[in-house]
Amino acid sequence: MKIIDWYILKKFLVTFFFCVFLFTLIAVVVDISEKTDDFAKTPLTAGQIFIQYYLGFIPFIDALLFPLFVLIAVIFFTSKMAGRSEIIAILATGTTYNRFLLPYWLGGGLLALLLMFSLAFVIPIANVKYTGFEAKYIKVNSTYDPLVENYQRNVYFRIDSFTYAGIRNYDTLSKFGGPFFMHRIFNNGLVYNLRCESIQWDTAARKWKLKNIVERHINGLKETVKTQKNLTLNFNFKPIDLSRDEYAKDKLNTPQLHQYIQAQELRGTEGLNTLEVEEDRRLATPFSVLILSLIGAIIASRKVRGGSGAHIAIGFVAGAIFILMDRFSTIFSTKGNLPPLIAAWLPNIIFAFVAVYFYRKAPK
């Protein structure tokens, strides 16, 4: 790392965080103007709204637009450098074009790692605040509304490869339901059956409490019946597995999300593409930061008439196309048959070819 590398890297990071601050401020102002009536209906003060809602909303919106912020920041400061002939001077000293791009690789890599860590661990914590407040106070048909929760549908699922269960009248708010049944199948025959009057999640013990249980062990023509008043069991499913929380994928950190997907696959749950796309996007999106950093540097390093206006316009168009491609590929996966891995990485693959094309056309 030489002085010129530190100079470019400092400009990169300072411009990026300034863009984040500026666009975050605009997003918060726009969001407040849209939700003023909803906020007025809540019994919360302005400080409580900021703590309970905007401390979650701000990381969420920043993570959503993070690649666009990087692209705009790179184009903005690089275009200014090109306009002042600084890039021409750098290349005139004998510095190769590849060597000139080194600080962009480093800056993009640092921001990509920052985004990767945030998507894996920080943003899910923020989403708990943001989605919880939105579901409770903003959306009318909230999953936190007891009138909605108390009329939850019956739940049927697979516990493992041989065991199937079901709960009738399950209430996700109180984590209580019943009656509950469980069947275990072996060699296409029923070998165990459990039925109980009710089942409830014990928050302290983190286990399920069953009442008025009848167990049947079946061995060919022989059958053993056992009854109990109370029983506590440690099933491999938790209340979150039985709820219909549309924000579940956003609230779980990456290790938890991976375990959640595996558990849902084991239970035979359908429509897992949404969860799998989210898991793959948490790895693919940071790589897009690196790709867009290089595209921005290559586009803006050429000195053009009219200043940086044309460069910034190209940056906005490229960023908008990237976001649209990302949204469309996600929809094609969740609503169609596009594999989640391809849906998450398709925008990166296409823009990688775009970066190669611009690199070959760039004056060196």
Q: Is cis: bond before 43, omega within 30 of 0?
A: no
Cis, bond preceding 179 (omega within 30 deg of 0): yes
8-state DSSP, 184: E
Averaged over 146-152, what is the pLDDT? Answer: 44
**Mean pLDDT across the stretch 251-257?**
91
Altogether, the residues listed in the chain come to a count of 364
Region of poorest pLDDT, from 56-65, 141-150, 213-222, 310-319: 141-150
* Joined tokens for residue 95: 């510095």
Of 162, 149, 78, 67, nearest to 116 by C-alpha is: 67
113 to each of 63, 106, 108, 118, 263, how far by Cα in Å? 13, 11, 9, 8, 28
Q: pLDDT by residue (tens digit) across 92-122? A: 998 999 999 999 999 999 999 999 999 999 9
Q: Give me the numbers of helices (H) and strands (E) for the chain, helices first please.
A: 15, 7
pLDDT of residue 87 exceeding 70, the answer is yes
Sign of CA dihedral 245, 250, 251, 253: positive
Q: Among 30-39, 107-116, 202-211, 307-316, which stretch is predicted with the lowest mean pLDDT? A: 307-316
- Both structure tokens of 282: 């948490």
Q: How many CB atoms lie within 10 A of CB 207?
A: 13
Other CB atoms within 10 A of residue 171 CB: 16
Range from 139-153, 190-204, 232-246 carrying the lowest mean pLDDT: 139-153
Q: Does residue 360 carry a pLDDT above 50?
A: yes
